[in-house]
Amino acid sequence: MSIFEYNGSAVVAMVGKNCFAIASDRRLGVQLQTIATDFKRISKIHDRVFIGLSGLATDVQTLYQRLVFRHKLYQVREERDMKPETFASLVSAILYEKRFGPYLCQPVIAGLGEDDKPFICTMDSIGAKELAKDFVVSGTASESLYGACEAMYKPDMEAEELFETISQALLSSVDRDCLSGWGGHVYVVTPTEIKERILKGRMD
Amino acid sequence: MGDSQYSFSLTTFSPSGKLVQIEHALTAVGSGQTSLGIKASNGVVIATEKKLPSILVDEASVQKIQHLTPNIGVVYSGMGPDFRVLVRKSRKQAEQYNRLYKEPIPVTQLVRETATVMQEFTQSGGVRPFGVSLLVAGYDDKGPQLYQVDPSGSYFSWKASAMGKNVSNAKTFLEKRYTEDMELDDAIHTAILTLKEGFEGEISSKNIEIGKIGADKIFRVLTPAEIDDYLAEVE
């Protein structure tokens, strides 16, 4: 079993009309045993930038702490929040620093940029950025997620419809993956509010 | 004077609370050629005298105003070689920021990093302070900005400032002439008039240098032909 599959994870982000949604599963496992059903994979960097990290849970937590540190320092020095594109470049640089002993995570970054234009991207564990206009996926359930998103996604969805779509895509994909699941955690972010919701799916 | 007993070591305070080497560095700046900068409502202009030691010097090869990034320029008063070293360090810092964040460095951040370098040379062993004061002109998301950085490492944001030989006359002239809603072209005219005030000899496009940046966020050094046009308008 690959080290990326040790804990199990599923993360997905989608672009809507002047909004975005980012969702993850909640299972933390040690190979086949489920240890926790409330593991936080998505974190807020600031009101308009979120990062979801899939992969080895210890690296998920450590990398998140390092990124929050860097962003807080940036905020204090530059007296402004980081743009999502800038944050993605920073994550990419931090991951590549450990090129020969990498963090075993695949980040999914989602944010609202200038003029409330939604921005999403993903990268591999050594910082190769991949921008997308519609959706990005990562984790042990990524292959199912690709299929589900491709089928269910349509452009310019409003916040409520985007929530429904991303939730259905997430739940149906993790059902086909034994290492991820046990519910879902969805954030839908518009220029005016952040809506956080917990999904109840198949608890197995 | 008790201070002079403490002027041998940069890193020792004198009883009056000064670092005497920094005072001397400021004197070196004060005897350098005049330079000035003016922040307009839609851009910034910096200018300097370009007095060459002999008529045999190829004046086209001397460039006192330099780019730090495409949208930030700098001019100095004081020791030319020290200026070159600072420009090199600042350009590297700007490019490191760009490489990390894939975003051009904001003017305030670059000024702060440069000032930090200058401060390091006032608190280390075996080095001396830089003998230059810089005027940094830039245009970023916060609009047009003009900063002065001193050998001590302190920096200030100015609406208009001057440094070097004729500093007090130049500043008095600028205080009278400066208005908040000045446009870039007016600022260039005012800069030329200010330089003219303390100029020894005939002012021409061969013995002054002017750099400007407007809302297009591209810093440019004016060609001698362009300077001649502005000089003609000023007459």
* Rounded-to-integer distance, Cα B144 and Cα B44, Å: 6
- Model confidence pLDDT, tens digit, residues B118-151: 999 999 888 999 999 999 999 999 999 999 999 9
Residue B73 has pLDDT above 80, yes or no: yes
A175 in contact with chain B, both atoms CB, cutoff 8 A = no
Interface test with A, best of B93, B95, B99, B102 (most A CBs within 10 A): B102
Averaged pLDDT score across all residues of chain B: 93
CB contact under 8 A, A86 and B99: no
Question: Is the distance from CB of B121 to CB of B127 less than 8 angstroms?
Answer: yes
On the question of pLDDT at B231 being above 70, the answer is yes
Left (φ > 0), alpha (ψ -120 to 50) or beta: where does A128 sit? beta
Q: Residues B4-36: pLDDT tens digits?
A: 666 567 788 888 988 889 999 999 999 999 999
Which residues are bridge partners to A138 per DSSP? Answer: A11
What is d(CA A120, CA A127) in angstroms, rounded to the nearest whole number? 15
Whether A8 shows a pLDDT value over 50: the answer reads yes
Quick one: average pLDDT of A112-119?
95
Q: Is residue B1 pLDDT above 80, yes or no?
A: no
Long-range CB contacts (within 8 A, 24+) of A149-154: A149/A12, A149/A14, A153/A14
User: Does A114 touch chain B if contact means CB atoms closer than 8 Å?
Assistant: no
pLDDT band for A42, please (50, 70, 90 cuts).
very high
| Predicted pLDDT at A168 | 96
Nearest residue on chain A to B104, judged by CA atoms?
A: A86
Instruction: Give per-residue pLDDT as tens, B208-225.
Output: 999 999 999 999 999 999
Q: Which residues of A touch B106 (CB under 8 A)?
A: 78
Under 8 Å between Cβ of A124 and A106: yes
Contact B202/A at CB under 8 A: no
Helix-, strand-, coil-residue percentages of chain A, each rounded to 5: 35, 30, 35
Q: Compare CB distances from B100 to A78, A83, A90 and report the shortest one's residue.
A: A90
Which letter, b or e, does each residue of A127-161 get, where b requires 16 or more Cβ atoms within 10 Å of its Cβ?
A: bebeeeeebbbbbbbbebbbebbeeebeeebebee
Contact A85 B102 (CB under 8 A): yes
Residue A146 has pLDDT above 60, yes or no: yes
pLDDT at B168: 93
In this model, does residue B2 exceed pLDDT 60? no
Whether chain B has a CB inside 8 Å of the CB on A94: the answer is: no
Nearest CA in chain B to A89: B101
Minimal C-alpha gap between A110 and chain B (Å):
16
Is B189 a residue whose pLDDT tops 50?
Answer: yes
Whether A89 and B100 lie within 8 Å, measured CB to CB: yes
